[in-house]
Structures are given as structure tokens and as C-alpha cells.
Structure 1
């Protein structure tokens, strides 16, 4: 099954448009503010759909939820490729949101349910990190293929169309998952049971202190990263325009080559970072302690971004985005493990969907604000709002009182509490 889990990640990240997302929308005539609004709309839709779809997945079958997710992806990718209409783009983004809502949380719950059935619960961080590393390798492969297509055709539309192919292949992959992984409970629940699952999981997330903290951190950390990460693309385009080495090529071709180089490095590093997230957390003492160190590095990376912008060292700014991506691939398995440790297995997909919803809510708030701020900021310092907001969020997370977790009793001896 680990092979199938890794294959899912490899195929899922064959999103050939991802390294060109912002540039493709700019090519369709959208401003940064409108792109931010479109991304915010996507995340609001995901946030509204996330918990109900997670509950449905827990109640009627997780495999079928994943299949429905990828059907929605196929519809979205084809629409993105064929339209320039703003209304149609919003419709496509809504279909994309359906795919995200049914996927996020659900596949993680499948992995954790399988680990529990095998008696390997303690390997959550490691196994999820391994599967995520294959996702990043998939992204590295996809960026090379996408850049080759953009270079050859000088058209961004095709990268949306071909993204539908691996999404369709993943549907075949899901059909090979054992039916026993559909549910974490023995019997299906009816509509009333779904509502009970929804209420139990949502209440658990807000009532349990040890769940509330990582979910809040996810909203801030992932929200800021998700809203800002694609601004790497126009930075790379600026460098491509300035390099005399590629002067004989068109702007689209020069950008495609540099994006392929930068994103391939980013994804390969991200793959290794994700694979070793478990050992990194163990070396730092615990997932909670590792998260605190990552917040420090997070703020430092945005400080590096600010320095790169104000000094016009664009390569320094690009490096900061690469570092943020690497850290996010360490952060994500650690965060998911923290949430999974505190959640009941019967509502795991729903709880993980609540976490993902928090991330989506963060992006939906931050993305339109960043888009507007980038549009109104003078050109030489256009991306300074991104750096300043990232630094502010990191500082707030670091000055917030750390959680204090009481260790379990071992053979009658009470362990002392350890700050997370």
C-alpha cells in the first residue's frame, strides 16, 4: 500500500500549471488584485466545503470521496485551459475547490487508518513524510515537462489541459485501494450519523487545547505561505528579462527555462526535506519543539526576502522562497502528526479537514490583501508587503505562550510537563 500511497502523491502533483499559475493568469489579462481575489474565492469555497466533505468521506467511503475529488479536478483543468472568461475562471476555480475539499484530509486519514491496521501508528510522521517526498518528486518532474511545453509552444493553456491526464490515472489508482480503508468504523452511517461525525470532530478541534493550538498555527503558517508562494514566478520572470544569456529567446521561453531550473531544485530539496521530517522532529526532541524552531526559520526567511527586495538582489529574494518551500515540507508532516496524535480515529478525516479548512481560511484572507498591496506598492518595492506580513506573523507565533503538554504516566510514575 505504501507504493500506492506514493503513486498517488506522484500523480497528484503532476499539476503542470503550478509553476506558471500566476503568469498564466497574468497572460489572461488579470491583475495581481484579481488573481488574489480568485485565489481567495478558491480558498473560501474550500473552507466552506472542507468539513462537510470530510464528514461525508468518513461516513460513505474515503476511496469514493477521492475519486469524486479527481473527477472535479479534471473538469477544472480543462476549463482553465479553454477559457479566458473571468466568469468561467471562477466556475473552474469552484470545481477545483470541490476537488481540494474532498481530497484534503481524506487521503491522510486513509494512510493513518492503514498504519493503525498494521500496528504502525508510531510511524505516522515518517510514512507521511515519505509519501509527501514522492509528491515533491512528482512536482520536480512536472515542472521540467511543463517548462518544455511552454518553451516549445509559448502558450500557457496547454499545461492546464495535460494536467487532466495524471488526475484521471489517479482515479484508476484509487480503484485498487482495499475496501477496508473506506471506513474507520464498522458500519456506514446515515445522514444523521454524518452530522454527528461533523459535530464531534468540529467540537473536538475547538474544545481540545492540544488540537486548537496546531490548527491555529496551520491557519497562520500555511495561510501566509499558500498566499505568497506563487509570487516567486514574477520574480523569476524579472530575472529572466534581465539576463543577456537568453536574449535570443522570447520572454515566455526565457521564463520557462529559469522556472524549470528554480522549481526543479525547489521540489527536489522539498522532497528530501519531507522525507527527513520525522528524523528532524526526533532530533529536536518532539514535533512541538520542532514546530517552534521552524517558526524562527520562517521569520528569518521572510527577513531575507525583505533584504532581497530593498537591495534589488532578486536572486536573494528567490532564495528566500526556495527556503520557505523547503521548510514547509518539513513543517507539514510534523503538523499533521501533531493533529493526528490528538484526534479520534473515527473522525480522523473530518478533523484533518478542519485543519485544512483553517489553512484555507488563512489563505482566503491573506491572498486578496497581498494582491491588492502588491498592485498599489511602487514597482521597485512591489513585493515588500509579502515580506513584512510574513515577519509579523512569525513574531506573533513566537511571542504567543507555548503549550504545556503533560506527559503520560508510565507504570505509575508521573512525567514532568515539557514546553512545546
Structure 2
């Protein structure tokens, strides 16, 4: 099943538009506030559907929810490619958000259920890091393919439409997961009433446990900030590509397509390596919590350096620090998700991880429009935006610094593994 799990991640991340999302929306005349608002629409939709989707997955079937997620993605990608108004783009983001809500947490719960059934629960960081590394390989391939499509077509529209094809393949992949895996760790046939009960139990468990509350806060601070920051690499690369003293025979959009394809491919390849070696970082730092603290330090330093570079108009140092942030986030994610699995009952696994993702979405929905508004004010809506006007993305270092200096995570002791169930046939 590890191959199937990895194939899911690889296909999911063949979102050809991802490395060009901000530039594609800018091409349609949207300013950064409007783009931030679209991101907020997506994240608010995730917030509304996230926890109910996790409860439905635990009660009705995780595989069914994953198939529904891919179907929503297909609709979203097609509408993003064909829409000509803000309203339709917002509608596409609603489908995008529903797809995210039915996916996040649910597939991780499937992986962890399989690990328990195989007696390999103590390999959670290693196995999730491995499958995540294939997700990042998919992102690297996606960036290169998207760069080629933009280079030869001269438009961003087609990359949205092409993204529907791998989503359809992934729908087939998920629909053919073994039935016993879908049923493992959940109670069948309880319906929506049972789903609501499980939701209440999971929320109560999360809010009562100090360690769980702090894990959720970590997701809001670290994951929510990165979700806002990461896409602003695109206008930085655009500015750098236009001024690059090579490729003089190419149009600005073609030069941008080449540079984005190369830089994002490098970023995702390094992210893939980082995700696969997250368990090594954890071991070398002396455990889970020291590893998390170390990543906070790396990220804060990178954000401060990036903010200074952007304010000075230095695109290339900023690009390098964006890459550092991407690597740190992919070391962080497998370790952090493993923390949740340690302290969540198996029958609430998808719901608890959905609460975590919902918390991240709240932070992203708040920060994205604010940062977009600040950049618009500084840049006076110039296209392309000057590099120095992008420095507000670095303010995300502030809550991280507060968390690092003033909030101490209690020592997390891994509970004894429950007696493993026999492997279903």
C-alpha cells in the first residue's frame, strides 16, 4: 500500500497551476487584495467543511470522502480555467476548499490505520515522510510541465484545465483502495447522527488536553503562515527573471515561465528530500519537541532575512530564503502530524487532524487578505509588483517568535502501543 499512498501524493500535487497561481490571477487583472480574498474564500470553505468532513470520514468511510475530494478538485480546476469573473473564481475556490476539507487529515488517517494493522505504528514519521516526499516529487514534475506549457502557449489558462487530468487519475486510484482499509478504525453504518457525536467528542478531547491545544496553536502559527507566504515567491521570481541578463530573445512571460519552472522544481526536489529525512532531523535533535523548536528557530531567522532582502530589493537572496522556508516546512510537517497521531484515539484520527487543518485555515484566511492589502498599498497596484513592496510577508515571523520564547510545550511521552489488530484480508 505504500506505493498506492505515494501515488496518491504524486498525482495530487500535479497541480500544474500551483507554481503560477498568483501570476495567473494577476494576468486576469486582480490585485493582491483580491487574490488574498480568493485565498480567504478557499480557507473559509475549508474551515466550514473541515471538521464535519473528518467526522463523516470516520463514520461513513474515509475512502468515500477522498473520492468526493478529487471530484471537487476536478470541478474547481475546470472552472478556474474557464472563469472570466471574480464571482466564478470565488465559486471555483469554494469547490477547491471543499476538496481540501474532505482530503486533509483523512488520507493521513488511512495511512496510520494501515500502519497499525501492520504493527508498524512507530514508523509514522518515516512512512508519512516517505509518502510526502513523493508528493513533492509530483510538485517538482508539475512545475517543470507547467513551465513548458506557459512557455509554448503564452497563457496561464491551459494549466488549470490540464490539472484536471491527474486529479481524475487519482480519483480512480483512491476508489480502488482495499475496502478493509476504509473500514479499519471506524464504526460502520452509524450515519450523520454518529458523525455529529464523534465530532463533539473529538472537539471536547482536543480542547480539554493542554498538549492538543498547543499542537493546534502550532498549526495556526507555522502552517497558517507558510500557506500565506509560499505563493509570493512567484512575483519575486518574475521580477528577477525580467532583469536577468540572459535569454534576451525571449518574451518576459517566457523568461518567467523558465525561471519559475526551474526554481520551483529545485524547491520541490529539496522539499522531497527533507520530507523523507524528517525522522532523521527528529533523531538528531534529540526527539520530537527539540526538533520542532529547532525548526522554529530556522524559520524565524529565514523570515527575518527574507524580509530584509525584500525591503532592500534583493530578489535572489529572497528566493534562496523562500527555498529554505520550504525545506523547513517539509521537515516540520511529518514530525508535527506524528505528534497528533500520538495523542488522538484511532477512531477520532481523521476528525482530530481535520481540526488541526481547520485551525491552520483560520490563520490563513485572516492573514492572506491583510498581507495582500499591505502589498497593494506599498506597490500602488503596479504590475509586476516591485520586490521591495513584498516585505510584509515577513511579519509572519512575529507570532512564531512569541511561540518560541514564551510558550513551552510539555514533554510528550509516546504512549505504549495498543495491541495490534490482526491484519485484515
* Alignment TM-score > 0.5, same fold: yes
**Residues 342 and 414, structure 2, Cα contact 8 Å, conserved in 1:** no
Residue of structure 1 equivalent to 2:421: none
Residue of structure 1 equivalent to 2:60: 60
Cα pair distance change 1:117/1:375, threshold 3 Å: same
| TM-score, L = length of structure 2 | 0.94
**For structure 1, which runs of at least 5 residues remain unmatched after alignment?**
411-420
Residue of structure 1 equivalent to 2:406: 400
Residue of structure 2 equivalent to 1:415: none
| TM-score, L = length of structure 1 | 0.95
Q: Per-residue deviation at 1:408? A: 7.3
Cα pair distance change 1:409/1:258, threshold 3 Å: closer
Residue of structure 2 equivalent to 1:156: 156
**Residues 147 and 259, structure 1, Cα contact 8 Å, conserved in 2:** yes
Cα pair distance change 1:95/1:186, threshold 3 Å: closer
Alignment partners' CA distance in 2, 1:93 and 1:349: 23
Residue of structure 2 equivalent to 1:269: 270
Residue of structure 1 equivalent to 2:392: 385
Q: Map residues 146-185 of structure 1 onto 2, 5 A cutoff.
A: 146-183=146-183, 184-185=185-186
Alignment partners' CA distance in 2, 1:311 and 1:52: 45
Q: Per-residue deviation at 1:186? A: 4.4
**Residues 288 and 338, structure 1, Cα contact 8 Å, conserved in 2:** no
Residue of structure 2 equivalent to 1:230: 231
Report which stretch shifted further, 24-33 or 204-213. Answer: 204-213
Cα pair distance change 1:350/1:384, threshold 3 Å: same
SS in 2 for 1:382: helix
Q: Is structure 2 residue 19 aligned with structure 1 residue 24? A: no
Q: Map residues 276-287 of structure 1 onto 2, 5 A cutoff.
A: 276-287=277-288
Alignment partners' CA distance in 2, 1:93 and 1:406: 37
Superposed structure 1 runs of 4+ greater than 6 Å apart: none
Q: Deviations over 1:64-117 (max 9, x none)?
A: 100000000000000000112111001100011110000000000000000011
Residue of structure 2 equivalent to 1:9: 9
Q: Per-residue deviation at 1:385? A: 1.2
Cα pair distance change 1:14/1:380, threshold 3 Å: closer
Q: Deviations over 1:191-225 (max 9, x none)?
A: 22111110011111111112111110110111111
Q: Map residues 299-310 of structure 1 onto 2, 5 A cutoff.
A: 299-310=300-311
Q: Map residues 60-79 of structure 1 onto 2, 5 A cutoff.
A: 60-79=60-79
Residue of structure 2 equivalent to 1:288: 289
Q: Per-residue deviation at 1:380? A: 5.7
**Residues 270 and 329, structure 1, Cα contact 8 Å, conserved in 2:** yes
Q: Per-residue deviation at 1:278? A: 0.9
Q: Per-residue deviation at 1:248? A: 1.5
Q: Deviations over 1:329-369 (max 9, x none)?
A: 00111110001100000010000000000111110011000
Q: Per-residue deviation at 1:307? A: 2.3
SS in 2 for 1:244: coil
Residue of structure 2 equivalent to 1:371: 372
Q: Deviations over 1:148-197 (max 9, x none)?
A: 00000011010000100000001111122111122313433122211111
Residue of structure 1 equivalent to 2:333: 332
Q: Per-residue deviation at 1:310? A: 2.8
Q: Per-residue deviation at 1:404? A: 2.2
Q: Per-residue deviation at 1:409? A: 9.6
**Residues 240 and 246, structure 1, Cα contact 8 Å, conserved in 2:** no
Q: Deviations over 1:111-153 (max 9, x none)?
A: 0000011111000000000000000001001111110000000
Q: Per-residue deviation at 1:228? A: 1.3
Q: Map residues 188-199 of structure 1 onto 2, 5 A cutoff.
A: 188-199=189-200
Residue of structure 1 equivalent to 2:420: none
**Residues 312 and 388, structure 2, Cα contact 8 Å, conserved in 1:** no
